[in-house]
């Protein structure tokens, strides 16, 4: 047994609560190195004649594997909500105990110090995004480019809607009134949440350089129009998330100008990170190397107060439902904990999403963010479905890797994107192959998480990196890519009809070893059973479904095709990039007998 590979810790992704009395424990072993893993556990204080009294041993199941590791899981509801525990790992005749104290051949009920400890399961141990999030379909809007509802507020230098490809400095006059006018469109698409990139006063078209955090940019409208937008959205059961740029401001932000001009005598000098550069000239920390974006000193008490006020203001006065936090990883954890406490106090079920492109466990422990933008998922999805640069098994490993990195409740709340204002358009990524775009959405809408469509992706907008990916929304339906548009609409309908395709129940791969071009996975809860089968190849594929479906009725929800299995095995044919969203039901009992 390769003991150096064995890993567990009694917190984060290795031990988390899945309800108010149950822990899910995870232990990692080298791939295919252990055949049995068991959990020995008991109340930390239950002794008889100084011998620790454990409960009956639980068997762990092999939940998933990555390229290097197997991950074993078990759910356990300890009496009195507390436990000490050890794992027993077996490989053939060899068996070893593993606990906080390391490895040993025997279980010693006289020495608890070798055990891991979960001291008490508090309700607030249960990390989970607000309940509504698990059922939301998001739509990201870049306001200058989505819809113009009022030409009077267009910036002076704005150019006619869609007349050219955007540059980094072009304005097209999109605004909040435009969004209001398109609520019906969003509604019909099936959207239940919109995320707006920044709308506060700024110098740029993207507005990631805030000048006034308490004012809607005049090019987008005003506070009254924002209120109307949010109210209308709420009437239509659409949640609204705004973008908070707290890492940096615009260089035109008045406190920065004050500090820049007055130096140390400015009341705002400590709001930023001024320093002397190598030539003894005054300099300051910025976002990236952008002098136009001076970095805020979020360790400063006044800055903290100021930013918390902003956070509260738009919740209390405008009833927003979420904050997306720009460049969230470059701000200190202490501030984010204050932010979380204050915002959740203001609105218990506020959704907080950090922009973090990398692994983000330290922000997702329940006391900072509910979620992060899930770019690692995007990377895997693109490699498999769009570029076809990784085989099916590699793709499954990458998804399992993601699952291994977070507690399941976190996975269920991740903000899943196929792209954003910071990446090329999805149809462009797919080399204009609309079938591959649809496969991406099939996965997105049948997997855990809270999925988001970047405006225009649903009608087939194209373009490379910024600024190309920020072109104007097309409102002429004759120019829609209807294959994509109708597919997304249909997929959203299917996801919304069956919560098991959202975040209810479990997710499980089926081995497609027999045909490496096929991706197959199950979504299942007590009520529903789905099998998703995707042909990711450019060739026709025939497969046998590796489940005994005898006596079951199956419906491919994509085309309503029904079929019944008359033997234990069933064969299906899939055209290139074809897929099945198979709803599996028991046939009527009377028919069975």
| Residues carrying an active site annotation | 326, 355
Residue 533, H or E segment: strand 529-535
CB of 92 to its own copies, least distance (A): 19
* Residue 376 in contact with its own copies, rule: CB under 8 A: yes
CB of 130 to its own copies, least distance (A): 17
Contact window for its own copies (CB under 8 A) among 7-15, 230-238, 520-528, 539-547: 7-15
Per-residue binding letters, 348-367, with its own copies (x by CB under 8 A)? ---------xxx-xx--xxx
Residue 202 token pair: 């700024």
Identify the residue among 227, 228, 379, 524 touching its own copies (CB under 8 A). Answer: 379
Contact window for its own copies (CB under 8 A) among 159-167, 323-331, 423-431, 580-588: 323-331
Closer CB to its own copies, 10 or 460, in the complex: 10
Strands 200-202 and 193-196: unpaired
Closer CB to its own copies, 222 or 422, in the complex: 422
Identify the residue among 80, 151, 282, 291 touching its own copies (CB under 8 A). Answer: 80
* Residue 67 in contact with its own copies, rule: CB under 8 A: yes
* Residue 104 in contact with its own copies, rule: CB under 8 A: no
Cβ distance 574 to 580 under 8 Å?
A: yes
Q: Name the region of 97 (left: φ>0; alpha: ψ -120 to 50; beta: rest).
A: beta
* Residue 94 in contact with its own copies, rule: CB under 8 A: no
CB of 383 to its own copies, least distance (A): 11
Cβ distance 159 to 104 under 8 Å?
A: no
CA distance 290 to 311: 25
Order of all β-strands in the sheet with 371-372? 371-372, 351-354, 322-325, 239-244, 193-196, 138-141, 450-454, 415-417
Which residues from 391-410 bind its own copies, rule CB under 8 A?
401
Contact window for its own copies (CB under 8 A) among 65-73, 192-200, 316-324, 552-560: 65-73
Per-residue binding letters, 172-211, with its own copies (x by CB under 8 A)? ----------------------------------------
Closer CB to its own copies, 117 or 181, in the complex: 117
Say whether the peptide bond before residue 228 is cis (omega within 30 degrees of 0).
no
* Residue 485 in contact with its own copies, rule: CB under 8 A: no
Which residues from 235-294 bind its own copies, rule CB under 8 A?
285, 288-289
Per-residue binding letters, 113-142, with its own copies (x by CB under 8 A)? x-xxx-xx-xxxx-----------------
Which residues from 550-579 bind its own copies, rule CB under 8 A?
none
* Residue 342 in contact with its own copies, rule: CB under 8 A: no
Cβ distance 282 to 262 under 8 Å?
A: no
Residue 549 token pair: 């479906």
Virtual torsion, Cα 402, 406, 412, 417, nearest 10 deg: -40
Length of the chain: 593
* Residue 81 in contact with its own copies, rule: CB under 8 A: yes
Closest CA to 192 of 147, 130, 237: 237
- Cα separation values, 41 from 59, 60, 92, 203, Å: 11, 13, 23, 60
Closer CB to its own copies, 11 or 387, in the complex: 11
Helix (H, G, I), strand (E, B) or coil at 91: strand
* Residue 513 in contact with its own copies, rule: CB under 8 A: no
Identify the residue among 19, 270, 330, 422 touching its own copies (CB under 8 A). Answer: 330
* Phi then psi dihedrals of residue 468, to 5 deg: -60, -30
CB of 416 to its own copies, least distance (A): 16
Closer CB to its own copies, 135 or 344, in the complex: 344
Quick one: how far is CA 106 from the chain centroid? 42
Residue 50, H or E segment: none
- Quickly tell me which residue has 């990692």 as its tokens: 28
Per-residue binding letters, 11-50, with its own copies (x by CB under 8 A)? x------------------x--------------xx----
CB of 70 to its own copies, least distance (A): 11
CB of 451 to its own copies, least distance (A): 21
Identify the residue among 332, 506, 539, 585 touching its own copies (CB under 8 A). Answer: 332
DSSP 163: S
Residue 551's DSSP bridge partners are: none
CA atoms within 13 A on the CB side of 434: 14
Helix (H, G, I), strand (E, B) or coil at 285: coil
CA distance 289 to 538: 44
Closer CB to its own copies, 11 or 214, in the complex: 11
CA distance 8 to 86: 10
Closer CB to its own copies, 117 or 204, in the complex: 117
Residue 5 token pair: 């590979």
* Binding residue count for its own copies, defined by CB under 8 A: 56
CB of 82 to its own copies, least distance (A): 7
CA distance 97 to 28: 14
CB of 426 to its own copies, least distance (A): 18
DSSP 151: G
Closest CA to 193 of 224, 228, 236: 236
Q: What are the residues whose beta carbons fall under 8 Å from the beta carbon of 156, sequence distance 6 or more?
A: none
CA distance 273 to 537: 52
CB of 330 to its own copies, least distance (A): 4
- Quickly tell me which residue has 């969203």 as its tokens: 581
CB of 489 to its own copies, least distance (A): 32
Give residues in contact with its own copies (CB under 8 A).
Answer: 2-5, 7, 9-11, 30, 45-46, 67-69, 80-82, 100, 102, 113, 115-117, 119-120, 122-125, 285, 288-289, 295, 298-299, 329-334, 337-338, 341, 357-359, 361-362, 365-367, 375-376, 379, 401
């Amino acid at each position: 047994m390769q003991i150096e590979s064995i890993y567990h810790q009694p917190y984060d992704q290795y031990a988390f609560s899945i309800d108010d009395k149950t822990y899910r424990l995870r232990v990692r072993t080298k791939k295919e190195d252990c055949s049995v893993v068991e959990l020995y556990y008991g109340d930390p204080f239950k002794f008889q004649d100084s011998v620790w009294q454990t409960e009956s041993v639980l068997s762990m199941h092999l939940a998933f594997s990555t390229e290097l590791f197997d991950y074993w899981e078990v759910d356990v509801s300890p009496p009195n909500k507390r436990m000490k525990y050890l794992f027993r790992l077996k490989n053939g005749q060899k068996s070893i105990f593993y606990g906080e104290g390391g490895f040993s051949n025997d279980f010693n009920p006289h020495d608890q110090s070798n055990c891991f400890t979960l001291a008490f399961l508090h309700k607030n141990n249960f990390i989970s995004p607000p309940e509504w999030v698990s059922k939301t379909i998001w739509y990201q809007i870049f306001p200058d480019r989505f819809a113009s509802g009022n030409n009077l507020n267009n910036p002076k230098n704005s150019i006619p809607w869609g007349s050219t490809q955007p540059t980094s400095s072009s304005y097209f006059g999109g605004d909040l009134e435009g969004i209001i006018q398109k609520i019906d469109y969003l509604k019909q698409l099936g959207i239940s949440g919109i995320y707006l990139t920044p709308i506060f006063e700024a110098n740029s078209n993207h507005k990631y350089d805030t000048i006034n955090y308490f004012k809607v940019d005049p090019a987008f409208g005003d506070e009254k129009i924002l209120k109307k937008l949010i109210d209308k959205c709420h009437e239509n059961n659409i949640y609204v998330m705004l973008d908070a740029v707290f890492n940096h401001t615009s260089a035109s932000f008045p406190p920065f100008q004050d500090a820049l001009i007055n130096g140390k005598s400015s009341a705002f000098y400590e709001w930023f990170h001024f320093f002397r550069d190598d030539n003894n000239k005054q300099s300051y920390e910025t976002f990236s190397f952008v002098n136009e974006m001076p970095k805020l000193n979020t360790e400063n008490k006044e800055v903290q107060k100021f930013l918390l006020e902003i956070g509260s203001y738009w919740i209390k006065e405008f009833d927003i439902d979420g904050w997306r936090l720009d460049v969230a990883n470059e701000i200190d954890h202490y501030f984010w904990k204050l932010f979380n406490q204050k915002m959740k106090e203001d609105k218990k079920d506020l959704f907080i999403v950090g922009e973090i492109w990398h692994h983000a466990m330290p922000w997702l422990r329940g006391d900072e963010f509910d979620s992060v933008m899930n770019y690692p998922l995007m990377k895997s999805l693109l490699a498999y479905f769009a570029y076809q640069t990784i085989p099916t098994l590699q793709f499954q490993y990458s998804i399992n890797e993601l699952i291994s990195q977070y507690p399941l409740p976190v996975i269920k709340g991740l903000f899943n994107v196929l792209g954003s204002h910071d990446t090329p358009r999805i149809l462009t990524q797919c080399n204009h192959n609309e079938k591959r775009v649809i496969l991406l959405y099939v996965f997105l809408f049948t997997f855990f998480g809270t999925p988001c469509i970047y405006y225009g992706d649903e009608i087939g907008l194209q373009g490379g990196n910024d600024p190309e990916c920020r072109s104007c929304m097309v409102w002429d339906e004759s120019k829609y890519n209807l294959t994509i548009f109708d597919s997304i609409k249909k997929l959203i309908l299917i996801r919304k009809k069956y919560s098991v395709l959202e975040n209810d129940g479990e997710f499980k791969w089926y081995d497609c070893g027999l045909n490496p071009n096929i991706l197959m996975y199950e979504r299942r809860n007590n009520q529903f059973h789905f099998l998703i089968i995707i042909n990711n190849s450019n060739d026709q594929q025939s497969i046998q479904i590796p489940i005994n479906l005898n006596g079951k009725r199956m419906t491919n929800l994509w085309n309503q095709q029904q079929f019944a299995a008359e033997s234990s095995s069933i064969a299906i044919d899939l055209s290139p990039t074809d897929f099945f969203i198979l709803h599996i039901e028991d046939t009527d009992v009377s028919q069975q007998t």
